[in-house]
Amino acid sequence: MIKEFRLPDLGEGLTESEILSWKVAVGDTVTLNQVIAEVETAKAVVELPSPFAGTVAALHEQAGSVVEVGKPIVSFEVDDAGASPSAVAGSAAGASVENPAETAAKREPNLVGYGAVVEKSGRPARRQRSFDGSTGEREAAREAVPAVEPVPVVEQPAPLAVPSGPAAEKERPRSTPPVRKLARDLGVDLELVKGTGPGGLITRSDVQDFAAGSQPQLIAPEAAASAVGVSTERETRTPIKGVRKFTAAAMVQSAFTAPHVTEFLTVDVTPTMELLTRLKASREFAGYKLTPLTIAAKAVLIALRRNPTLNSRWDEGAQEIVQFNYVNLGIAAATPRGLTVPNIKEADKMTLLELSTALSELTDTARSGKTSPADLTGGTISITNIGVFGIDAGTPILNPGEAAIVALGSVRKAPWVHNDELAVRQVMSLSLSFDHRLVDGEQGSKFLADLGAILSDPATVMTMI
């Protein structure tokens, strides 16, 4: 029996992924959950496990191809046992297994969790919609439903239904509910947006690019197939995709939707650097990596306790300000594939030793390109350490959905007035950008002042907690 496996959505409504490499070839025998490919989403590199035990019958896409979610990528030849729905056990997001003997109306497991209720026909059951209009309106609404659904495992290929003719010209723009909500939030008229998804489907990137004033142009299939880096003596062209494409869209959206304010403070961090030296020499921290970022991250967490408004987000849809009672601390990381901002979950509950370990693991994982999609979402406030590049200060752009971001400048020796005398001290510039819808100038200034006070005299913490 031939089983076809379609590319699943590997995280939060992503519409496409690039196949970086295949770990199997046609004719190979694979086991359940064996890694068969390495794919790059717009957020991270993910290892794709096999949903079946059997033999690879065909690879439908080559390494380097950018594949739409829902498109077939590999076929397996399996026996009846290997074809059981329970074969889909492992997942990139930790999906669990349901007993195949249970009713067919239960939700089918897939690589990112559980999908919609599945009827005997194998297609997700849809909620019936009511219409006050004519039969023609009902038909137009049915045509407006996106043709590609991310059902990763099917027995028969499902052709993409691309509307054409007069009926297609009259239908509303094809998009998914999350994309339509994004368009409303950004004030974008979908009628004016050209969809670059399958069959003209309007994606999140299309809406974000339109909002930024850079409406993408449709690319012919033959041109898209040859969209690889081209170098000449005068210029080098690299396709915009993967992490770089996602980061660009996110930064444009943040810059155009959140009113940024940036404040600066230069402080004498000599006491912090002396503390760092003592901690490194202590038995408790022997073998652990301690850096100025470690101390600064802990200082940010302490300052947030006194200034919680900076740990919040603006919910446009609900017209609410959401203040978080936990801190998922984002750390901007430069990787070969572009800038990512993974976050440390529940960082506010960690000791300095635990935070040091988490920072080391986060940066090592990010640089190797193995950060999971889950670690790239849910951040509440971020730090970018521009000091490692020898930069003193900057105006960082907010990570989307967050109220503040702190930039740490380099630690430099400089003349400084200390105890009413001029002395050579180690100084650092702090830059704080915040969303002025959420954070008033007073609140942002107090947070930055608290952060500076801790770094200039760590003993100040005793008066803050």
Q: Which of 157-171, 185-199, 318-332 comes out lowest in average pLDDT?
A: 157-171
Taking only the tens place, the pLDDT of each residue in 372-382 is: 888 888 999 99
Specify the 3-state DSSP secondary structure of 247. Answer: helix
Q: What is the pLDDT of residues 381-410, one digit of tens each?
A: 999 999 999 999 999 999 888 999 999 999
Break the chain down into helix, strand, coil percent, rounded to 5: 30, 25, 45
Residue 236 has pLDDT above 60, yes or no: yes
Q: Spell out the domains of the chain, with CATH numbers in brackets.
A: 2-125 (2.40.50.100), 175-257 (4.10.320.10), 258-463 (3.30.559.10)
Q: Which residues are catalytic?
A: 436
Check: CB of residue 351 under 8 Å from CB of residue 340. no
Q: What is the pLDDT of residue 274?
A: 96
Query: pLDDT exceeding 70 applies to what percent of the chain?
Result: 72
Please give the pLDDT value at position 309.
95
**pLDDT score, position 123:** 43
pLDDT over 90 (residue 196):
no
Rounded Cα gap, residues 438 and 167, in angstroms: 46
pLDDT tens, 99-138? 443 433 343 444 443 333 344 444 444 444 444 444 444 4
Distance CA 105, CA 57 (A): 30
Instruction: Provide φ and ψ at 83, rounded to 5°.
Output: -85, 0
CA distances from 266 to 371, 385, 392, 452 (A): 33, 15, 9, 8
Q: Is the pTM of this model over 0.75?
A: no
**pLDDT at residue 220 in the model:** 38
Which residues does 179 contact at the CB level (< 8 Å), separation at least 6? 202, 203, 204, 206, 207
- The H or E element spanning position 137 is helix 135-144
Alpha helices in 204-241 (DSSP H): 204-211, 221-225
How many whole angstroms from its chain centre is CA 360? Answer: 20
Q: How confident is the model at residue 40 (pLDDT cuts 50, 70, 90)?
A: confident
- Most distant CA pair in the chain: distance in Å? 86
Q: Is the pLDDT of residue 232 over 80?
A: no
Band of the pLDDT at 65, cuts 50, 70, 90? confident
What's the pLDDT at 325? 95
